[in-house]
Structure 1
Amino acid sequence: AKYTTIAKGVTVNSNGTKTIDGVLYYSLGGGAYIKAANVDGKAEESEDSTSVKLIHNAYVYDENGKRIKKYEGKAKLTKGTEIDVYGTMTIKGKKYYQLDEEGTAFVKAGNIDKPTIITLKKNAYIYNGEGKTKKKLVKKGKTVKTTEARYIGTKLYYKIGDDQFVKAANVGKVKGTELDPVNEPDGAATVEVPDTEDVNSTKVTTKRVVSLYDIKGQKYANRTFDAGVSQQVSELRYIATSVNSTPQLFFKLASGRGYLKYDDVTMDGKILNPVNTPEQAKADVTVATAADKAKLTQSINEAASVKASELYKLSSSSAKAAYDKAITDGAIVNNNASATIGQVNEAEGAIVAAKAKLNGAKIAVANFNSLTPDEVTAIVKAAANANNVPESAIQFSNNNTTLSIVTNGYTQPLNINDYAVQNSAINR
């Protein structure tokens, strides 16, 4: 209808742009348009698709500049891939190339455009891919081309040649568009540091450059934190390296990636008490028997039924991935004849915690024949999670009564009842 209003935050499909009386609009089909100025991100140009080649590995982002964890089943697009683009868009001041006609998927222009140039603000050693150096310098003020950003251990580097890297901390001016790191930092926490006023959480701050440890009290290779780094922690426990050693206190990172020594950090927030005793810590270093592994074995064996459940299928991609990882890691420990009781208990605890975070459930709607914009958005998200596709691939049609996955011209019908349930008691 003429002058129909679409609520803020609603996602709609567009089949291109059109300039009317000097003003840029998005076409919604059927002679309906919305002003581009009312859409997040400023459209710079629109054109038929053009084939381009990626010069770097590239993450995919949505229209708000937020990273899409999986696009068409892939975590990222690889260097050298030929992709079709539909013009460019500026999102939060940065240039992106649009990957679909609907304008829901983008890659940073730096992964397509000319190389990035960096200028060293300090004399910088050149490192190899293992983080080792022969102390050959790139001098302060030198300008060089970089082809990628990469983490080695927990530190970020720029690649400047074949197996040659300089630390990002020594780089000053960066000319060109931003490069996404091609990997994740080893040992780095993936959780946000809590506000220090949150009395129900605990964080620790490193006193110096410190190592990250495993449940056996052994240092991880190339996993360190710089001085002054804050991390959220979930527990305090004694860890012994052998039955004859003196157990020491460690904080467990909330991300589950390892432990920091009590003496290496300062603590803020909720005070944690040890979850075990020194005697229990010594017992934990003994090799686990089949009886010790019974609970872990049971949790692994029930994974198939969990993954077949609505609870799992409709959970977020991150929650499912965390559960999958816990099961995979647990199976490795369970099959290890030398695994200690401590390793087995840790693996079992990780599965229990990951399962508890699965929160999938059907979306309750008032009337399938008259879905609200919020209900449509929630169903799209649930269907995308269940089918491991981006939300942009889920489409409604026939006045929001027919649901499908649409990718590369292929349409797969979906049953809306798999993702939503009608509840007439809902008051709109």
Structure 2
Amino acid sequence: MNLQKKMLKGAVAGMITLGLVSRLASFNAATVKAATDNNSLELAHNAYIFNQKGKRIKNYHGQKNNAYLKKGTSINFSGSIKEVEPNTKKFYLLNEDREKQSWLPYKMIKGQSYYKLSSGGYVKANNVYRIAGHPLYTDQATVKIANLKKNESYKIGVGKDSINLKNGKIYQVDRVTSMSGQSGLSIEYRVRGTKTAFIPETKIKAKPKQQLQTYTQASYIIFTQKAGTYNVDGSARSTTDPNATFAAYDVYPVESATYLWSANDNKVELFYLLKDSWNEPRFYSLANYHAQDFAGLVYVKADTTEYESGPALKPTNTPEQAQKDAKIAVKEDKQELQDLVDQENITPYQSSSLSNLENRFKAALKLAKTTLNSDEATISEVKAAKAILVKTQNDLSHYDKSQAESDAILGATTPYIIWISTMN
């Protein structure tokens, strides 16, 4: 069973557990290996064949009268797939790590991209669905608004991103996401050049021919195997609860990458801090793991996961620093955190829109005080508590209504998307 099918199977199993709708799954499952499976292009649309000057070939290998290749046709390409700097090409393939990209070089003819065929001639890149058996991605695609009721007003985006959708209007989109809301999860496309304008899939006439990368505000990882959770000292947390571990192909958000020293294993390893483990989780997850409210600092080993979507996280420390910070924190090590706690005087806010920020700050303050009162807290734990307190304090003190509106939209983005092939 390939990765895409395994992920779909795992996601469906998770959705049955959580009671979510069965059409959701991870989107970026299919990626390209360094060595390609074949040298063919698969067409997403009926496609004419052109010469090197961009003119149609009317008699292509015995076909006459403006010959074209039918949708779903596979035909060999000329050239070889090469690794390329990320986000530098309009059409590209995702490598296995989903951060690096590859491309099959294409020729620009009269402003359009064409792939050269091994049997002669060229085909437009925007008519290609797969290359060497792997999905073709694009940095932008065109969608047309449809399905709005007569005189229906449908607004997307906030502030300068605000757009009123109307039937027949065409937009360029550059990312796709699954948005969580009161009615569940919906697939949505981000309008190119905006941050918060997302068009629901139900409001467009047809999906893009090629895939778009998934957008999520949070960083998500996917587990490659069954995995447990760990404390800040690198020790394993209890797994007596059947939902205290992750299953292979579970997807979960994380907020930082940190090297931790494990005294039991006598080594340093890279870990991810699970998003909001120190606060009440506020996101959808198709994971076997169900975090308890205010569980504290909960980590997973990075080598049991792969990157899925969102900002790529860089380690906050070095392996050498991790070993040094594994020592029990003394008063001097806690002083900066203590100073932050001592100066806090939480002002009661009247705006309900601030409640989430207030709750996050209070949870961070609770974590800081617990860490300060612990005789077993390590320097690593003190540093983690300080970083969380500083960030939540900054978010609260620099509250901006427009930013809050933006975060309300972007914070609802998840990677649970099912790609319905245009070939079906």
Q: Same fold (TM over 0.5)?
A: no
Provide the TM-score with structure 1 as the length reference. 0.36
